[in-house]
């Protein structure tokens, strides 16, 4: 009996020892997993490097992060594009020492100048110009930097670009006035008009800014254009008027405004098609029929 009791006590003591060791191990692992504030070593984030620009370490960290992104996304964005968009003068200065091309184009043919303009970084815009960037470079979608500025309504940026030699009419299919009209930026439109931009200027298809405003249903913009002398019955190369585009997009309020301003409802394009044939929605067709349109 005493032997069995001794064995039993021995087993209990072994079990207790195992529990103690296990608890100590868990405690140690918790200490490793949840260190105190003084033990945490954080790698600087991109936002932290932006807050403390200028140092070589900040530039290096930023570049490493962007290079990883460039390797993953194949849109031909360069480090100069990213630096210009984020206003990183320190990075741009470093890139200049490495012979970076500040007229490099991404997949949409946008340059670092476009990137800076979109974000309104005037100091960067000036810096890029002084380092050989083209202020009249043409991108596929946004057009020239002046167009990009007009599209976002950044009048101060537009003024800066003009001082640096940018063309207020643009070299692309549709100039800055079209961009400002398309996005409803009347202040930008007013500035462009003051620079001599014509409100009845036509693009390669023969359309004026009034076409864009009618398509968007922007009555306030249309009113401004009309007050500046825009023609509501102007025809493009296909013989269509702004009323055609308004009908196509179902902009009934804009159609009513155009009619009140003297726009014709019963008119045919060069192919003999009427405005009614351009209408898609039934309510648009009904409005046209009620206002004298013919099949």
- Is the same domain home to 111 and 172? yes
Query: Given pLDDT bands bounded at 50, 70 and 90, which one contains residue 33?
Result: very low
Which of residues 132, 167, 197 is at a domain's end? 197
Q: In the prediction, which pLDDT does 64 show?
A: 78
Is 278:268 a contact under the CB 8 Å cutoff? no
Check pLDDT > 80 for residue 44. Answer: no
- Is the same domain home to 162 and 80? yes
Which residues on neighbouring strands pair with residue 29, listed in sequence order?
Answer: none
The residues, ordered by sequence, that sit 6+ positions from 289 with a Cβ below 8 Å of its Cβ are 276
Per the model's pLDDT, the better-predicted residue between 36 and 270 turns out to be: 270
Per the model's pLDDT, the better-predicted residue between 19 and 214 turns out to be: 214
Query: To which residue do tokens 């394009």 refer?
Result: 269
Query: To which residue do tokens 């298809």 refer?
Result: 205
| Percent of residues, the chain, with pLDDT higher than 70 | 78
Q: In the prediction, which pLDDT does 70 show?
A: 62
The residues, ordered by sequence, that sit 6+ positions from 171 with a Cβ below 8 Å of its Cβ are 136, 138, 144
The mean pLDDT value for 6-27 works out to 46
- Is the same domain home to 184 and 258? no
Q: What is the mean pLDDT of the chain?
A: 84
Check pLDDT > 60 for residue 266. Answer: yes
Q: In the prediction, which pLDDT does 170 show?
A: 60
Q: What are phi and psi of 276, to 5 degrees?
A: -60, -35
Residue-number span of the structural domain to which 205 is assigned = 201-295
Which residues on neighbouring strands pair with residue 139, listed in sequence order?
Answer: 143
Q: What is the pTM of this model?
A: 0.77
Rounded to 10 deg, the angle between the 186-194 and 219-227 helix axes is 20
The mean pLDDT value for 24-30 works out to 42
The per-type count for the chain, helices as H runs and strands as E runs, is 17, 0
Query: To which residue do tokens 């996304």 refer?
Result: 73
Check pLDDT > 50 for residue 69. Answer: yes
DSSP one-letter code for 237 = T
Token readout for 19 is: 């529990």
Q: In the prediction, which pLDDT does 27 show?
A: 44
Residue 272 falls inside a structural domain = yes
Check pLDDT > 90 for residue 11. Answer: no
DSSP one-letter code for 166 = -
The mean pLDDT value for 126-146 works out to 95
Query: Given pLDDT bands bounded at 50, 70 and 90, which one contains residue 67?
Result: confident
Which residues on neighbouring strands pair with residue 274, listed in sequence order?
Answer: 268
- Is the same domain home to 71 and 95? yes
Residue 236: CATH number of its domain = 1.25.40.20
Residue 40 falls inside a structural domain = no
Q: What are phi and psi of 274, to 5 degrees?
A: -90, 170
Overall number of domains in the chain: 2
- The length of the chain in residues reads 295
Residue 119 falls inside a structural domain = yes
Which of residues 174, 197, 220 is at a domain's end? 197
Q: What are phi and psi of 272, to 5 degrees?
A: 85, 10
Is 65:34 a contact under the CB 8 Å cutoff? no
Check pLDDT > 80 for residue 29. Answer: no
Q: In the prediction, which pLDDT does 104 show?
A: 95
Check pLDDT > 70 for residue 233. Answer: yes
The Cα–Cα gap between 254 and 251 comes to 5
- Is the same domain home to 70 and 180? yes
- Is the same domain home to 219 and 181? no
Q: In the prediction, which pLDDT does 75 show?
A: 74
Check pLDDT > 90 for residue 235. Answer: yes
107 SS3 class: coil
From 28-32, 104-108, 161-165, 214-218, the region with the lowest mean pLDDT: 28-32
Check pLDDT > 60 for residue 7. Answer: no
Which of residues 197, 227, 260 is at a domain's end? 197
Residue 107 falls inside a structural domain = yes
Is 126:102 a contact under the CB 8 Å cutoff? no
Q: In the prediction, which pLDDT does 55 show?
A: 63
């Amino acid at each position: 009996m005493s032997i069995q009791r001794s064995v039993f006590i021995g087993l209990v003591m072994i079990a207790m020892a195992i529990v103690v060791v296990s608890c100590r191990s868990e405690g140690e692992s918790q200490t490793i997993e949840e260190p105190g504030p003084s033990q945490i070593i954080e790698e600087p984030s991109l936002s932290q490097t932006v807050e403390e620009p200028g140092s070589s370490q900040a530039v290096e960290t930023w570049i490493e992060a962007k290079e990883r992104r460039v390797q993953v996304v194949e849109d031909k964005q360069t480090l100069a594009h990213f630096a210009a968009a984020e206003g990183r003068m320190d990075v741009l200065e470093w890139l200049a020492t490495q012979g970076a091309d500040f007229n490099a184009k991404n997949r949409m043919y946008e340059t670092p100048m476009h990137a800076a303009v979109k974000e309104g970084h005037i100091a960067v815009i000036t810096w890029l110009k002084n380092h050989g960037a083209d202020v009249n470079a043409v991108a596929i979608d946004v057009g020239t930097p002046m167009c990009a500025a007009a599209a976002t309504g950044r009048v101060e940026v537009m003024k800066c670009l003009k001082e640096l030699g940018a063309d207020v009419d643009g070299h692309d299919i549709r100039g800055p006035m079209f961009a400002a009209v398309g996005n409803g930026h009347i202040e930008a439109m007013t500035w462009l008009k003051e620079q001599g931009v014509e409100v009845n200027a036509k693009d390669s298809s023969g359309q004026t800014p009034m076409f864009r405003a009618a398509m968007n249903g922007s009555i306030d913009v249309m009113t401004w254009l009309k007050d500046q002398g825009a023609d509501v019955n102007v025809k493009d190369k296909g013989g269509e008027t702004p009323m055609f585009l308004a009908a196509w997009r179902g902009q009934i309020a804009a159609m009513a405004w155009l009619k009140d301003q003297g726009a014709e409802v019963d008119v045919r394009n060069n192919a003999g098609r009427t405005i009614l044939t351009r209408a898609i929605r039934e309510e648009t067709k009904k409005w046209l029929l009620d206002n004298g349109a013919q099949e």
